[in-house]
Structure 1
């Protein structure tokens, strides 16, 4: 298995945007937290979160992302379960989310982006002060963070078979642990 340092180098080779890098770090953190919670491989899950969108900046179209990334991961000898999770985080790839890691990646991906948006509009901009009740209210407001797919957030919660409030709270707490790195 590649190291986190290898993964971050690959991420930064393909991703220059500060917002996409922060998204990668947020998803990595959520994946690490869930891996720990589930008794899974924290490093592998973290790397999967870190790299899930690494190709997006250079290959943003649905006919390229995450397919190009999967090719690059394969050529860099990443494990197939990591590649499958990356592919399955986008429904249009047709790759089913079968592993707990893949289901978790899907469940945290859009939510991390949404939580970052929620923190950004707070007066203090602190992720640790985002409240679940506020998140749920903002999820209903279709004009807020329009780019976030609410259906994917709901589907992820169902597929992971977790309580919605508990999931939101868990990810907020997880992201709060690296708030300085996310600097919303």
Structure 2
């Protein structure tokens, strides 16, 4: 849901097909729970998509988000998917450690402050985010702000609307 929201935001910003970009963001990791290894993900999911006649543009973008496949990210959609995928995880982690547990008061400065702390959100590959921003031609603050604003549109669904602030 988070990657979908970020993809939709960028599609709107760039005058691209919001539904195409959104569905790509939504399904890009659909095979991960059953196929979490580099040998299988995202190839297992892409095979399913191919068998069911999904557009090649979506399949290529999904393959491109896995750097170990060495699939070139030639389309703007593929570069954007790669750039937002890991960043949505970092933004989510930053929101969850705030007292408010909300995206509403999260600023790019806070995310940038956690950027170099490798112990924080350890699973987030910052190098992939950097490469993605470079491929898109966006700077860090702009990219973080776009993703934060995009995630605010689905904050309730992500439970990043503050409801967790007072729970246990």
The TM-score range, normalised by the shorter chain, is over 0.9
Aligned to 2:107: 131
Cα deviation code 1:69-128 (max 9, x no counterpart): 100111121100000000000110111100000000001000001100001111111012
- For residues 62 and 40 of structure 2, the distance between their equivalents in structure 1, rounded to whole angstroms, comes to 13
Aligned to 1:18: none
CA RMSD of aligned residues (A): 0.7
- For residues 142 and 170 of structure 1, the distance between their equivalents in structure 2, rounded to whole angstroms, comes to 23
TM normalised by structure 1 equals 0.85
Q: Which of 27, 30, 41 is 1:54 aligned to? A: 30
Off by >6 Å, runs of 4+ in structure 1: none
Structure 1 stretches lacking a partner, 5+ long: 1-24
Aligned to 1:114: 90
Structure 2 stretches lacking a partner, 5+ long: 161-168
Higher relative contact order (CA 8 A, sep 6+): 2
Aligned to 2:7: 31
TM normalised by structure 2 equals 0.93
1:99 aligns with 2:75: yes
- For residues 123 and 16 of structure 2, the distance between their equivalents in structure 1, rounded to whole angstroms, comes to 31
